[in-house]
Structure 1
Amino acid sequence: MTPYYPSRRTFLMTTLGLAAARTLQATPYQSLTAGQVIDRIKTNVGIPWREQTVDRLIAGTPELPVKGITSTMMATLDVLQRSAARGLNMVITHEPTYYSHQDRTEPIEQDSLYQLKRDFIQQHGMAVFHFHDHWHGRRPDGIATGMIRELGWEKNADPQNPRLFTFPETSLARFAQGMATKLNIKTMRVIGNPQMPVKRALASWGNVSLMPGIPYLAQADVLIVGETHEWELVEYVQDAIASGQKKALIIMGHLVSEQAGMKYCTEWLKTFIPEVPIEFMPAAEPYWRPDQPAK
């Protein structure tokens, strides 16, 4: 049999192919990083990124490889533990991780609970991104969009004022109960006559101070908020009722008043981050009623 001697061209191509294969084997897979996720958020949120903002990486590094993402209203220790158990090592949270709006840790550096939470994040190789200002700044507001959708109020919204809603007339008690049922709220508080007719409601998700609370209340029968100072807006509404005005205030609780907005954020993130699983993880409502003890 005549021995086979490859041509110079065949030999060269084979050699190059083997070299390329070795290079591919030697090069580790380049996974999605926390920094890349944040860059995509900045690109897709639809508004310029602010210089002054609380929206930043609170824990972890931009180089951290992302295995999965949690979208949540609040990065509580419970949410972090559940995320780690599911292999989701990047948490995108609307509210702070370390108990202040700016996530300042200097005042609590010696606190044992802060240290436990910080160490848990580090030990499990996690990243936490605070996503507040730009999710609200998006048009339409991401939190408001999710809340309106969860309540089924799309057709009730005023085209000129996304906070204002008009409904067929019903009692305050029935209106509040409908909200509590749709959002599974255990500890909603209501100020006003339960039989008061409600047609117009104005919702301001999250925290609402005395101003703009007063002008908000003037536009509707009932003002809906997440939370407010009881010695300010609550007192004002009580005095308005005592003066003869037919007004009401619904206090949902901060967490439940914005939670569906981060559920919507989960769907939004999936439109431009296809590489890893993304899950919505609701934070637990912190309160319970004495007649309905927490389980």
Structure 2
Amino acid sequence: MATYTTSRRTFLMASLGMTAIQAIRPSGPQALSVGQVIDRIKANVGIPWRDQTVDNLIAGTPEMPVQGIASTMMATLEVLQRAAARGLNMVITHEPTYYSHQDRIEPVEQDPLYQLKRDFIRQHNMAVFHFHDHWHGRRPDGIATGMIRELGWEKRLDPQNPRLFTFPETTLARLAQEMAAKLNIKTMRVIGDPQLPVRRVMASWGNVSLMPGVPYLAQADALIVGETHEWELMEYVQDAIASGQKKALIILGHLVSEQAGMKYCAEWLKTFISEVPLEFIASAEPYWRPDQVKK
């Protein structure tokens, strides 16, 4: 009888102990980690992951738990602040965090602003993942897909050339105005006759140098770029116009010329990440025009 009593007491205590343990143990799935998010991106992007790439974890560690994810064009301090305020502690950015394409910190390591930004990320337990090469390398290009959707140009796209678009005849001014409105651009710049008839348009989102800018321009009435050196492609277009060629160049600004691609990236990420909140945070257009400022 005594043996039974002891065994019963032991059983009851063990049961109570298990109940207490179960009460404090999370009942849901294990927290999603930064490394798991990156692994899913690699598994779903549709192309082999390169050995040499800028697409790397710039801040944080793979083991960090993810409370929420922000997709953005550029991880500016302002974007990081907004993400932290929303409880989104993993930022997936298309452009660099530390002022160079490779996110090299050596040139700015002693700079107080770099240190402030680095410390903000650390203090808020944030991770930043640079996602550039493979988002462009995806087929179709993730940035181009988002930009085409934002502009509503899906039916204008040449099936043989993902950069070429065909329109019913419009004018350069009307084309530029419609783009500025759809992309909410304040500081677009345009080279060419505003009344130039436009039917064929080439678009190269982001930075475009002299080459391949020149062959792109040869295939169209107007070339759209994010940015370019003013002493290269811009000068070439000016000389082409002065020589009698009917050509034009539309310069959107680098950030706004790819921003919708990262808006689309957030939608794409949601197809294989559902455990945490996931949002697109737009990066602010950095420029303004004096005539748009209220006096």
TM norm. shorter chain > 0.5:
yes
State the match for 2:178 in structure 1. Answer: 178
Deviations 1:217-254 (Å, cap 9, x if unpaired)? 00000000000000000000000001100000000000
Deviations 1:19-78 (Å, cap 9, x if unpaired)? 654554464573111111101100111111000000010001111111111000000000
CA RMSD of the aligned region, Å?
A: 2.1
Question: What is the CA–CA distance in structure 2 between the aligned matches of 1:153 and 1:12, rounded to whole Å?
Answer: 73
Unpaired segments ≥5 residues, structure 2: none
Aligned to 2:74, the other structure's residue is in SS state: coil
1:208 partner letter = V
Structure 1 pair 12–158 and aligned structure 2 pair: CA distance change class (3 A): farther
The answer to whether 1:276 aligns with 2:276 is yes
State the match for 2:167 in structure 1. Answer: 167
1:65 partner letter = P
- Map 1:86-125 → 2, pairs under 5 A: 86-125=86-125
Structure 1 pair 11–49 and aligned structure 2 pair: CA distance change class (3 A): farther
Question: What is the CA–CA distance in structure 2 between the aligned matches of 1:17 and 1:48, rounded to whole Å?
Answer: 51
Structure 1 pair 23–113 and aligned structure 2 pair: CA distance change class (3 A): same
Once the two structures are TM-superposed, the CA of residue 11 in structure 1 deviates from its matched residue by 10
User: Could you state the TM-score of these two structures normalised by the residue count of structure 2?
Assistant: 0.93
Question: What is the CA–CA distance in structure 2 between the aligned matches of 1:227 and 1:272, rounded to whole Å?
Answer: 33
Aligned to 2:155, the other structure's residue is in SS state: helix
State the match for 1:220 in structure 2. Answer: 220
State the match for 1:39 in structure 2. Answer: 39
Question: What is the CA–CA distance in structure 1 between the aligned matches of 2:105 and 2:14, rounded to whole Å?
Answer: 54
Aligned to 2:88, the other structure's residue is in SS state: coil
Question: What is the CA–CA distance in structure 2 between the aligned matches of 1:249 and 1:167, rounded to whole Å?
Answer: 16
2:269 partner letter = L
Question: What is the CA–CA distance in structure 1 between the aligned matches of 2:15 and 2:183, rounded to whole Å?
Answer: 59
| Percent of pairs with identical residues | 80
- Map 1:2-21 → 2, pairs under 5 A: 21=19
State the match for 1:256 in structure 2. Answer: 256
Question: What is the CA–CA distance in structure 1 between the aligned matches of 2:285 and 2:212, rounded to whole Å?
Answer: 26
Question: What is the CA–CA distance in structure 1 between the aligned matches of 2:237 and 2:15, rounded to whole Å?
Answer: 77
Answer with 157-166 or 28-37: which moved more.
Answer: 28-37
Deviations 1:98-122 (Å, cap 9, x if unpaired)? 0000000011110000000000000
Once the two structures are TM-superposed, the CA of residue 130 in structure 1 deviates from its matched residue by 0.3
Once the two structures are TM-superposed, the CA of residue 216 in structure 1 deviates from its matched residue by 0.3
2:240 partner letter = A
Deviations 1:108-150 (Å, cap 9, x if unpaired)? 1100000000000000010000000000000000000000000
The answer to whether 1:188 aligns with 2:188 is yes
State the match for 1:289 in structure 2. Answer: 289
User: Could you state the TM-score of these two structures normalised by the residue count of structure 1?
Assistant: 0.93
Once the two structures are TM-superposed, the CA of residue 85 in structure 1 deviates from its matched residue by 0.6
State the match for 1:235 in structure 2. Answer: 235
Aligned to 1:193, the other structure's residue is in SS state: coil
Structure 1 pair 156–124 and aligned structure 2 pair: CA distance change class (3 A): same
1:249 partner letter = L
Deviations 1:241-293 (Å, cap 9, x if unpaired)? 01100000000000000000000001001111000010100000000001012
Unpaired segments ≥5 residues, structure 1: none
1:209 partner letter = S
State the match for 1:68 in structure 2. Answer: 68
State the match for 2:52 in structure 1. Answer: 52
Question: What is the CA–CA distance in structure 2 between the aligned matches of 1:14 and 1:101, rounded to whole Å?
Answer: 63
Question: What is the CA–CA distance in structure 2 between the aligned matches of 1:46 and 1:218, rounded to whole Å?
Answer: 32
Question: What is the CA–CA distance in structure 2 between the aligned matches of 1:181 and 1:14, rounded to whole Å?
Answer: 71
Aligned to 1:287, the other structure's residue is in SS state: coil
Question: What is the CA–CA distance in structure 2 between the aligned matches of 1:136 and 1:41, rounded to whole Å?
Answer: 13
Structure 1 pair 272–11 and aligned structure 2 pair: CA distance change class (3 A): farther
Answer with 146-155 or 28-37: which moved more.
Answer: 28-37
Question: What is the CA–CA distance in structure 2 between the aligned matches of 1:25 and 1:254, rounded to whole Å?
Answer: 52
Aligned to 1:198, the other structure's residue is in SS state: strand
1:219 partner letter = Q
Aligned to 2:66, the other structure's residue is in SS state: coil
Cα contact 1:288–1:294 (8 A) shared by 2: no
State the match for 1:210 in structure 2. Answer: 210
